[in-house]
Amino acid sequence: MQLDPRIAEALALLPDYLGQHVLLSISAVALGIALALPLAVASLRSPRLRFVLLSTVGLIQTIPSLALLALFYPLLLGLSLVAMAMFGVQFSALGFLPSLIALTLYSMLPIIRNTVTGILGVDAAIKQAAIGVGMTPLQSLLQVELPLALPTIMAGIRTAAVWVIGTATLSTPVGQTSLGNYIFSGLQTQNWIFVLFGCVAAAVLALVVDALLGSIEIALTGRDRRRLSPRGICDFGLIGRAGREPVFAPIRPMWPANQKSPPKMRIFGRSC
């Protein structure tokens, strides 16, 4: 059986598009985490600073993604001219750089919001105990507050990653190769297979990355979870348990909110 030539063509382009898409998304989320975590921690002490920070990143989120990406073209063009005049160096205002900046800004809201919520949500009695046993504020943050807020922070990072991977398809119009290339060129040539291929590829990538981050979360916090319950091993799968995000959140089965744990089910013969 012969493969449809359009699919064959799409597949041939996949390594390049996917590679650039992944590189861009990973860079944006990594940069987003590197900026958002310290900002969130710094804002913990001052409600006013927190308000300013959350309003700013919230405002960024209201700018349509395509507009945000486009916005950095003239901005960077101007900056590039200034840099040329002052230092004799020039950088491209198209392609990777504007995409990276826009996507980084985009990724910050969920990470900052979840970090702030997670740390502020740590039981006051436990924070008091941390100070009472003689921890410095930094020790309390690193040894008690951050570890306890980790599930919430990781949930924010996962949300950010899924958003960024989806939005990165829009970096094609600003000159950055991504899985969006399928979609935009498909639209122009009325090649619907290309459009569909791009959508599916981006969606699959988002799901895979989300599951991957979920496994990292379990590796970081799984120790106590497994000891807490002999069923803990079943957490590593499609179902979540009371109060925890399942690893594969997008297709989480629903069960009544008043029910403490999901209905019994069997996965690979193991009763969960």
Which of 221, 222, 232, 252 binds another protein (CB under 8 A)? It is 221
Give the binding range for another protein (CB under 8 A) out of 16-24, 109-117, 139-147, 157-165: 139-147
Burial degree of 102 (CB within 10 A; 0-12, 13-18, 19+): buried
For position 224 contacting another protein by CB under 8 A, the verdict is: yes
For position 130 contacting another protein by CB under 8 A, the verdict is: yes
Give the binding range for another protein (CB under 8 A) out of 112-120, 123-131, 183-191, 241-249: 123-131
Query: Shortest approach of another protein to residue 121 CB, angstroms?
Result: 13
List the beta bridge partners of residue 270: 267
Q: Where are the beta strands (DSSP E) in 218-268?
A: 266-267
Give the binding range for another protein (CB under 8 A) out of 51-59, 87-95, 125-133, 160-168: 125-133
User: Which amino acid is located at 103 in the chain?
Assistant: L
- Shortest CA distance to 5 belongs to which of 184, 152, 197? 197
Q: Collect all residues with Cβ–Cβ distance below 8 Å to 171 and sequence separation of at least 6.
A: 24, 69, 98, 99, 102, 103, 178, 180
How many Å apart are CA 252 and CA 238, to the nearest integer? 7
Query: Could you identify the residue written with the tokens 């040539």?
Result: 189
How many Å apart are CA 6 and CA 17, to the nearest integer? 16
- Shortest CA distance to 63 belongs to which of 101, 17, 117? 101
Residue among 109 and 130 whose Cβ is closer to another protein = 130
- In degrees, to the nearest 5, what angle opens at C-alpha 109 toward C-alphas 106 and 113? 165
Which of 12, 85, 86, 125 binds another protein (CB under 8 A)? It is 125
Query: Shortest approach of another protein to residue 147 CB, angstroms?
Result: 5
How many Å apart are CA 72 and CA 29, to the nearest integer? 18
**What would the x/- binding string for another protein be over residues 147 to 176, using CB under 8 A?**
xx----------------------------
Query: Shortest approach of another protein to residue 216 CB, angstroms?
Result: 17
Which of 132, 230, 256, 269 binds another protein (CB under 8 A)? It is 132
Residue among 210 and 217 whose Cβ is closer to another protein = 217
For position 144 contacting another protein by CB under 8 A, the verdict is: yes
How many Å apart are CA 126 and CA 133, to the nearest integer? 11
Residue among 231 and 252 whose Cβ is closer to another protein = 231
Give the binding range for another protein (CB under 8 A) out of 3-11, 103-111, 141-149, 246-254: 141-149
Q: How many residues does the chain have?
A: 272
Residue among 99 and 115 whose Cβ is closer to another protein = 115
Residue among 52 and 126 whose Cβ is closer to another protein = 126
The 3-state DSSP class for residue 87 equals: helix
For position 129 contacting another protein by CB under 8 A, the verdict is: yes
Q: For the chain, how far is it from start to end, CA to CA, in angstroms? A: 42
Which of 27, 56, 80, 139 binds another protein (CB under 8 A)? It is 139
Interacting residues with another protein (CB under 8 A): 123, 125-126, 128-136, 139, 144, 147-148, 221, 224, 227-228
